[in-house]
Structure 1
Amino acid sequence: ERNTYFSIKGLDKNKHEVDLVIGGESNTIPDDLEGVKIIKIDSLRRDIHPFDEIKALFQLYRLIKKRKYHLVHTHLAKGGMLGRLAAKLAGTPIIVHSLHGPLFHNNINPLVRFIYENLERFSSLYTDWFISVGEDLKSRYLKAGIGKPENYSLIRSGMDLEKFRKVSNFSEKEIKEIKRSFNLSSNDIIIGMVASLEPRKGHKYAIEVAKEIIKKYPEVKFLFVGEGYLRTHLEEMIRRENLQNSVILTGFRRDIERVMAIFDILILTSLWEGLPQVLVQGAVLGKPMVSFAV
C-alpha cells in the first residue's frame, strides 16, 4: 500500500488525474491524497467468491469504461487479474501491473499454484508493462513464461528512512513513555512484528513461538503491529493459548517507527515477500532480527 501511495503522491496533479480503486475490505483508507478520487468496490474481496468476482469484474469494467482512463495500473493478485481483464475489455490503451511478491510459491497447494501461474500467464497477454520490486521476483515470473524481459522495469520500494534514523536515538525516558502507552513496564522485553494481519504473514507461527518463549521468560511481551481481516481469528488463538496478557495486537498505526523503537527483537514470519521493507527499517534502527528465509 505504501508503494502505491508514494507513487500517487509523487505524480504531478497538474498533468495527471488519478483515481484510487480499493477493495471492500480495505481498512486503511488514506486521508492525505489531495485531489485523488477514492473509489471503493465492495465486491472486490480477498477470499474467493465466484459471484463477487463476476460482480467486481463488471463493476470495474463499467467504471473504467465510464472514466475512459488512459492507463490502468493494478496491484496484488485478485485486483491485478480482475483489474487488468476489465481494463482490456474496456479498451484501456495502457495496462501496467506491479509485482510485490510471488503469487505462485511453494507454500500453497500444488494445484492452486498451477492455477495461479497459468492465470498470471494468461493475464500477461494483455499487460503492456510489469514493474517488479525485486530482481529475483522478476526472474521468477520470466522463468514461468509471464511477459517478456523487454516489458519489465525494476523499481525497488521507496522508503522514508529518516524518521527511523531519528527514533534510533530516542532516550530511555522516551522509550519508557511509549512502553507505558501500551501498558508495558520498563523491564518488559519486547519482541515485535510489523505486518498486516493476513495468512501469508504467518502470525500463527509467531504465536506458537510466543507460547513457548513466555513459558520460560514471562517478562517477554509480543507486540504485533498492523491490521487485517485475520484479527478476530488471531484474537481467538491468543485467548485459546491464554496469552492475553503477553501478546498485544496494536491495530493500524501511523507511527510505526515509534513503536518499533521499543522492540528489543524484530521478527518476521512471512511465508513469502517481495521486498520486506520492515527488515530494512529494523536494520536502520539497529534491531536484532529473526526472520523466515524470504
Structure 2
Amino acid sequence: MKKKVLFCATVEYHFKAFHLPYFQWFQQQGWEVHTAANGQLKLPFVDQSHSIPIQRSPFHLHNRLAYVELKNLLETQHYDLIHCHTPMGSVISRLAAQHTRKRGTKVLYTAHGFHFWKGAPFLNWLLYYPIEKWLVKYTDGLITINQEDYERASRLSKERTAVHYIPGMGVDMNRFTPVDDKEKQHLRRKYGFSKQDFIVLCAGELNANKNQGMLIKASAQLYEQIPNLKVVFAGEGTSRQTYEQLVHRLHLKQHVHFAGFCRRIEDWMNLCDVCVSTSHREGLGMNILEAMCVEKPVIATDNRGHCELVKPGVNGFLVKPHDVNGLADYIHQLYHQKEHLRLMGQAGRSLASSFAHEQTVSEMARIYTAYMNQTEKVMQHA
C-alpha cells in the first residue's frame, strides 16, 4: 500500500507558486500526494486535491467548517506525513491532526515568515506569538526560511519540537535566466516600452504590507531627473485603487504603469533595469530572488527576509521601510552608473544559486526522509 502525504495551505495557488518540485519528489519516491486548501486548481504531481473552505481571516466563521472537514479527511485517509503552510492553513491543519498524530502521523509546519518579527507591531506579538507557542506541541517539525525566524523558533520550541532551516522554498534558475540585449529589446517592444526607457519593476501583490506607495512617492522625486523613468507594478491586490489614486494625485500617470497579474513574470524581469521590493515584512522575498536570477540589481527594504538576499553594494542596496528619499537616491545612482547594473546583476545570480530548487529540494528531502523513518518505526511498534 502506497504511503500518503498531505500538503495543507489556506489557498491552492500557494502550492502552484512554491511546492510543485516537492510534490514531484514525493511521487518519485512512490508516495501518493494529496493537497487540502481553498480552491480547485488542477496541479501536476498531485493524486488528489481536497477543497477545504479555509479563510485567511482568523475570525471568519467558515474556518470552523474547514476544521471539521479537514479533521474528517484526516480520519478517513490515514496520512503518513502532513506538511502545512500559511498562517490559517497551518493552524487549522495542526489542530485537526491531533488525533492522527497519536497514531504515528508526523506533522511538519513551514513558517514562510512569522508575523511577530523584530520591530513588528505590538498587536502582532500579542496575537500571533501566543498562538504559535501553543501550537508547537502539535508540531513534530518546524521549518523556517530565514535566520531570524530560525533563532526565534528555536527559543519558541525549547526543544519540544525539532526546528530546521532551509534556504527558502527554492527558485527555478532555468526559468529565471538572463537574456541578451537583443532579446531584452524584443521584450520591451512586445510589452510597449522603448530602448531608452529606464524601467524599475516592483513585482508582487498590491497590499499594505508590500508598501508599494513608497516607490510611487520616490518616483515623484525622480521623474524630472529621469524623464524616461517607467515604474512598473506587476501584480494585483486590494491596494491597487489606492495606489492608482496616489499616482493620479502626484501626476505620475506617464511614468507609473500597473501591469496587473503577469503570467510570464520572467519576461518583465528581463526587460527591466532594476527591481525593487518595498515590503514591511518578508519571509524571504521571492520577487527579489527571481530578479537576482535574471541578473538585475535589487533595491529592497531592510527586513529579515531581504537581508538574507541583498548584500549592500554587491548585488543591490537596502533602505529603511519608510525612507523614500533613500530609495529615490539609490534609483538615481543606478541610473547614472549603468556599469553597476551589469556587475551587481552578475553578483546577484551568483548569490541566488544557494537558493536554487536543487538546493532546497535536497535539503527538504533530507528532512522528509528523517520523519518518514520515524513514522516507520512507530508503525512497526504499533
TM range (shorter): 0.7 to 0.9
Deviation at 1:33, TM superposition (A): 1.0
Residue 110 of structure 1 deviates from its aligned partner by 0.7
| Structural mapping, 1:1-294, within 5 Å | 1=14, 2-12=17-27, 15-23=30-38, 29=41, 31-42=42-53, 44-89=54-99, 91=101, 93-106=105-118, 108-143=120-155, 145-146=156-157, 148=159, 151-157=162-168, 158-165=170-177, 168-172=178-182, 174-214=183-223, 216-239=225-248, 241-294=250-303
Residues 104-113 or 120-129, more deviating: 104-113
The structure in which a higher percent of residues are helix is 2
User: Would the aligned equivalents of 1:104 and 1:116 in 2 still touch at CA under 8 Å?
Assistant: yes
Structure 2 unmatched ranges of 5 or more = 1-13, 304-382
Task: Report if the CA contact (8 A) 2:108-2:142 is conserved.
Answer: yes
Checking the alignment, whether the CA contact within 8 Å between 1:124 and 1:147 is kept in structure 2 is: no
Post-superposition offset of 1:219: 2.1
- CA 1:56 to 1:241, structure 2 compared with 1: closer, same or farther past 3 Å? farther
CA distance, structure 1, for counterparts of residue 167 and residue 195 of structure 2: 37
Q: Is the 8 A contact 1:200 1:270 kept in 2?
A: yes
| Count of aligned positions | 285
User: What displacement does 1:273 show?
Assistant: 1.9
Cα gap change, 1:50 to 1:132, in 2 (>3 Å)? same
Question: CA shift at 1:186, angstroms?
Answer: 2.4
Structure 1 distance, partners of 2:256, 2:213, is 12
**Distance of 2:202 and 2:241 partners within structure 1:** 18
Output the TM-score relative to the length of structure 1: 0.83
Measured on the aligned residues, the alpha-carbon RMSD in Å equals 2.8
Bigger-Rg structure (1/2): 2
| Unaligned ranges ≥5, structure 1 | none
Residue identity over aligned pairs, in percent, reads 23
Letter in 2 for 1:161: M
User: One-letter code of the match for 2:83?
Assistant: H
| CA separation of 1:240 and 1:134: change in aligned 2, threshold 3 A | same
Q: Using structure 2 for the length normalisation, give the TM-score.
A: 0.66
- Hey, what's the Cα distance between the residues in 2 that align with 1:63 and 1:192? 43
> Does the residue aligned with 1:270 lie in a helix, a strand or coil?
coil
- 8 Å CA contact 2:34–2:49 kept in 1: the answer is yes
Separation in structure 2 between the aligned mates of residue 199 and residue 111 of structure 1, nearest angstrom: 16
3-state DSSP of counterpart to 1:273: coil
Deviation at 1:267, TM superposition (A): 0.7
The amino acid across from 1:121 in the alignment is K
